[in-house]
Structure 1
């Protein structure tokens, strides 16, 4: 009886929450601050993300630039179109790992992982060193 009940419960959980496939992360996502949208795409077997929309794309009538970047040669590149997510690998159901996220507001790059447990919410966890000491943001799908 217990086995039958567990099987029925597992079936309904699977039907309600189908497994997250590797390409489920592809698409446009709104940053948790609402300041921008990031398009996640695949190149080879890795996942990347670039800024495709900014709430405030201009500063003093000119495109916002990556002026916080520690590399002075990169400070003149526009934020719009900037690749901020790099080299993510699909690890297992709903987890992309081994990537980095670049924060144009600080000019810093962090190790990062992305987690999905539904089709419209993406948890982005950036960290230095160990993941336990990081920060998680929730991005919402916009396409």
Structure 2
């Protein structure tokens, strides 16, 4: 009987740990204001077990009387796509060590795609690092939660 109770206690604690880890993974879901000279709001959402981010607002979304487009995209077929709605974070997964690592992050200002990871400094501050090759060669931006 004691062994059964001990087994149940272990199972219950594992379930609680898994639930806490899942809740922590979802902590980046929301709307974030980017830093930099062209502020934007990025909506981070979850699809399956991965996280994605799309641009939902841009400070200067109108250019020459028209909605700004992804003019610097290396794929010429995508250069007429509007910036608003553009998917810029793809395939991020929570690694269990307080970081989200992704397939890539796209910078529409330069048209370049970078390797990336993110971590929460606190519940309202997200550090986003984009880099080429190794993370030593990159840049970190600070994003602020807006919702």
Shift in Å at residue 93 of structure 1? Answer: 3.7
Q: Deviations over 1:103-131 (max 9, x none)?
A: 00110000000011310000000001001
Q: What TM-score, normalized by structure 2, do the two folds share?
A: 0.81
Aligned-residue CA RMSD (Å): 1.6
Alignment size in residue pairs: 126
Shift in Å at residue 132 of structure 1? Answer: 1.4
Shift in Å at residue 134 of structure 1? Answer: 1.2
Does the CA-based 8 Å contact 2:89-2:102 persist in structure 1?
no
Report 1:1-143 matches (<5 A): 21-33=24-36, 35-143=39-147
- List, as ranges, runs of 4+ consecutive aligned residues in structure 1 with deviation greater than 3 Å: none
Shift in Å at residue 87 of structure 1? Answer: 0.4
Compare the two structures and name the one with the higher strand fraction.
1
Shift in Å at residue 98 of structure 1? Answer: 3.1
Aligned partner of residue 136 in structure 2, secondary structure: helix
The runs of 5 or more residues in structure 1 that have no matched partner are 1-17
The structure with the larger Rg is 2
Aligned partner of residue 131 in structure 1, secondary structure: coil
The runs of 5 or more residues in structure 2 that have no matched partner are 1-19
Aligned partner of residue 32 in structure 1, secondary structure: coil
